[in-house]
Amino acid sequence: MSSSSVLYDLPGPKARLRNRILGVVSIAAILALIAFVIYKFDQTGQFEARRWEQFQYAAVQRELLNGLLATLKAAAVATVLALLFGAFFASARLSDKWAFRAPATFVVELFRAIPLLILIFFGYYVPLQYGWPIDKFWALVIGLTLYNGSVLAEIFRAGINAVPYGQTEGAYAVGLRKNQVLRLILLPQAFRAMLPAIVSQLVVLLKDTALGFIITYPELLFAGKQIGGRLAFGLPYVPTYLIVAAIYISICGLLSVLAWWLQKRLTRLPRSAAKPLPSTQTDGGTGATQLV
């Protein structure tokens, strides 16, 4: 029996026909919705040349580029810190000692439960109230690190726990310590399974940088608002946000392609097998051991 038919019965002829019909109807509905949105944009003049002509100017292109660079900078720093945060607290949650496991569980569950927007507000406005202003960049990065790092900690912990327990028992049987078991046995196997979830969370982190708009951090969405609010070009908010959305989709698509390529490459890595030891036999006359 194939693995695809273990959890459910394979669809019969009527079910396959019904699924095809539902698929065609769904695609038609999506295309109709897209056509309706384009029609409404056209009716409201969103495709007029006046609303798009400012994007040919180098100054506007530099504004978008600066916003994109600010977004990538915040995302890159927050990604590194979130991965370190997640690895540290995942290790603490996997500890056998209650003194490490309980505080780590509290921290992870706390920051997973708090909305990211509140963390960004807290990181920026609370120090400001006490006369210790913090840079908008670091307020955004701290909020992204705490929230996404907590989610990554759960991804790491779940991925390691998903490795069959026999691997751990075998490693302990040959004399490895717990940190060696985690580093040499569990992590290499869990990483391949965790990679799609890790990349998905990093894509979320990249998109969450747009929340820096709330504290006026000059990221891509904030730059788009500045460009779209120009009355001389007919307040081109829709064209500007369409371009910003296309940039976000392109970057997230590149990240997904990179993750797919990396996962394929990891699955194709050759697995080296230990060479069998040569057999031995003992010479009955001399008692010497000879290799065969």
pLDDT per residue as tens digits for the range 196-248 = 888 889 989 999 999 998 898 999 999 988 888 887 788 888 889 999 999 99
* 246/187: higher pLDDT: 246
Q: How far is CA 184 from CA 48, 87, 88, 93, 266, in A?
A: 60, 15, 17, 19, 16
Burial 69-90 (b: 16+ CB within 10 A, else e): ebbeebbebbbebbbebbeebb
- What does the chain come to in residues? 292
- Whole-number pLDDT of residue 286: 52
pLDDT digits (tens, 9 = 90+) for 89-106: 988 888 888 888 899 999
Position 71 pLDDT exceeds 70: yes
Amino acid at 233: F
Instruction: Compute how many other C-beta atoms are within 10 angstroms of the C-beta atom of residue 112.
Output: 15
Residue-averaged pLDDT of the chain: 84
- Whole-number pLDDT of residue 281: 53
State the first-to-last Cα distance of the chain, in angstroms, to the nearest integer: 44
Q: Given its phi and psi angles, is residue 235 left (phi above 0), alpha (psi -120 to 50 degrees) or beta?
A: left
Contact 140, 217 (CB under 8 A): yes
- Whole-number pLDDT of residue 67: 92
Rg of the chain over all Cα atoms, to the nearest angstrom: 28
State how far the Cα of 90 lies from the Cα of 190, in Å rounded to an integer. Answer: 13
* 150/182: higher pLDDT: 150
State how far the Cα of 65 lies from the Cα of 13, in Å rounded to an integer. Answer: 53
Q: pLDDT-derived band of residue 278, with 50, 70 and 90 as boundaries?
A: low
State how far the Cα of 287 lies from the Cα of 289, in Å rounded to an integer. Answer: 7
Full set of structural domains in the chain with CATH: 47-266 (1.10.3720.10)
* Mean pLDDT along residues 274-285: 49
- Whole-number pLDDT of residue 291: 47
State how far the Cα of 39 lies from the Cα of 18, in Å rounded to an integer. Answer: 31
* 166/248: higher pLDDT: 248
* Mean pLDDT along residues 18-27: 93
- Whole-number pLDDT of residue 143: 94
* Mean pLDDT along residues 72-99: 91
CA 271 to chain centre: 27
Q: pLDDT-derived band of residue 47, with 50, 70 and 90 as boundaries?
A: confident
- Whole-number pLDDT of residue 64: 92
What are the structure tokens assigned to 110, written together? 């706390």
State how far the Cα of 114 lies from the Cα of 147, in Å rounded to an integer. Answer: 8
Torsional sign, CA 21, 23, 29, 32 = negative
